[in-house]
Amino acid sequence: MEQPDKLDIPPGTLELMILTILARGPLHGYGVSQRLTALSGDEFQVNPGSLFPTLYRLEQDGKLKAEWGASENNRQAKFYRLTPAGRRQLERHRSRWARVTLAIAGVLEGA
């Protein structure tokens, strides 16, 4: 299963994207990875070796809460949900990211 012309996920942004996806509602790990691929227009593909460590770390930090539930096709899966702390983290990340992109855009245009 090669993944031609997929983009590398820029370092530090995976957390932001996961939080954003989960802000719309609880999802399991596979769902997060699918949503991320879909939302990025197939440009990003996160592999489980990066996805799960990030999910676990966010959970350990209290940004996410996980519980087992039934998936769409009635399988047991672990669903992640944003906690209030996670929501605040998302806001912070977001405004930061907005500034970063503005700044980069400024540099690129002014050059």
Partner 1 sequence: MTILRRWLAAIAGAWRGERSEQGLDAELRAYVDLSAADKERAGLSPGEARRQALIELGGIEAVKEQVRRGRHGGAIEEIWRDTRYGVRLLRRTPLFSAVVVLTLALAIGANATVFSVVDALLLRSLPVRAPDELVTVSLQRRDATADGGAVGTLSYRMVRLFAEQLDLFAAAGAYSAFRFDVGAADAVVRVPGAVVTGGFFVALGIEPQVGRLLQPADDAPGAPAVAVISDGFWERRFSRRRDAVGQSLLVGGTSVPIVGVAPRGFAGATVGSPADVTIAAAALPQVSPDQAPLLEPGNFWLRVVARPRPGLSREHLTARLEAVWRRSADGVIAPHWPARRRADVAALVPRLAPGGSGSTYLRQIYRAPLIVLLGIVGTVLLIACANLAGLLLTRAASRQRELALRLALGAGRWRVVRQLLAEGAVLAVAGAALGTALAAAASRVLVALMSTSQLPIAIDVGPDLRVLAFVTAVAGGTTLLFAVVPALVATAIDPRQELATGGRASRSRARWLAALVSGQVALALVLLAGAGLFIRTFDNLRRFDSGFDAEGVLVAELQPRHAHDSTVVPALADLPGVTAVSLATHTPLDGWTWTEAVVPAGQPLPERESTVAIGIGPGYFDTLGLRLLGGRAFGASDAAGGAPVAIVNEAYARRHFSRVDVVGARLASRVGGRPHELTVLGVAANTPLSGFRVDPPPTIYLPIAQLPEVIRVTVLVRGVGGPASLARTIEPTLRAAQPGVAVEIAPLASQVGASIAQERILALLGGGFGLMALLLSTMGLHALIAYGVAQRTHELGVRVALGARGPQILRLVVGEGAWLVAIGVAAGIPAAWLASRWVRTLLFGVTPADPVVAASAVAVLTTAAIVAAWVPARRAARTDPLTALRHE
**Residues near partner 1 (CB under 8 A):** 1, 28-31, 34, 47-50, 52-54, 56-57, 60-61, 71, 73, 75-78
Q: Least distance from C-beta 84 to partner 1, angstroms?
A: 16
Comparing CB distances to partner 1, the nearer of 28 and 90 is 28
DSSP per-residue codes, 74-89: S-EEEEEEE-HHHHHH
Residue 73 sits at φ, ψ, to 5 deg, of -95, 30
Rounded to whole angstroms, how far apart are CA atoms 48 and 13? 16
Give strand pairing partners of 68.
78
Q: Least distance from C-beta 60 to partner 1, angstroms?
A: 6
Q: Least distance from C-beta 26 to partner 1, angstroms?
A: 14
